Structure 1
Amino acid sequence: MVAATGYSKLPRGVRNNNPLNIRKGNDWQGETVSFDGAFESFINPVYGFRAAAVIVKGAYRIRGITTLADVVTVWAPESDNNPTTHYIDYVADKTGLNASSTVTDEVLAPVLHAMSIFELGGDYFGLAMAQQGVNLA
């Protein structure tokens, strides 16, 4: 357990159990009261991964957003001051995929796990947790 004084120094996504920094706007399964004005908070990070999987498997695929490059570009657009190209390269390197690879259900957990590491600046939540979230989606 993290001491209260160290808790505030953790990345926002860790404090919110929101590994992919999903912004507020939907009523998610596993959502909890959030004191963060911009981002969702979940009772467990598994539900944060689940929400991300729902977004990718649902809204993104319906819109034809299926490749690694497409998913990351929409998730973290350059217009929001994200280093999108670096983000894509990072996730591709971590997963063994390339930018034009299709993000299928079989690779979704490793992709979301790699994205969470990039988003949070460290591996706070393991691949098994990402897989649990994907399995719930």
Structure 2
Amino acid sequence: MIYSVSIFSHMSQEDQQGWLTELARITRPGGFFFLTTEGRFALDKLAPKFGSNVSQMQEKLNEQGFLYRSYEVWNKQVKVGDTVRPVSEVQGVSYGNAVMSPDYIQKNWPAAGFEVVGLLEGIIDHRQDLVVRRKRS
């Protein structure tokens, strides 16, 4: 069993896929993985961070399935040697707020080798969703 709380709710799509693939690699067949994400229950808290309102975000989430906005500090420019680059490039990852719909998770996450066996919306602090995944045997 592997669990992760409030990690995938801060990763870009690309970073999520990399971690999902790695978790599939290290989990035994039939093993479970419990992780939290943010979905529609978090929209009222996240809308201002996205420069939006709840109804606009809900509409975008319904259309796109995944919304992401990196934290401003990760866009800050830093000098590395003779070049100036964003912190996210220097670190090799992005970090911010990610919002996912259940449909997005059902369609995109099985590709990493897990099946989604459950998704409970807003179960953690009436904000985060709990996703239960099992590695295929």
Superposed pair shares fold, TM > 0.5:
no
Write 1 or 2 for the structure with the bigger share of strand. 2
- TM-score of the superposed pair, with normalisation by structure 1: 0.30
- TM-score of the superposed pair, with normalisation by structure 2: 0.30
Answer with 1 or 2: which has the greater Rg. 2
Bigger relative contact order, structure 1 or 2, given CA contacts below 8 A and separation 6+? 2
Write 1 or 2 for the structure with the bigger share of helix. 1
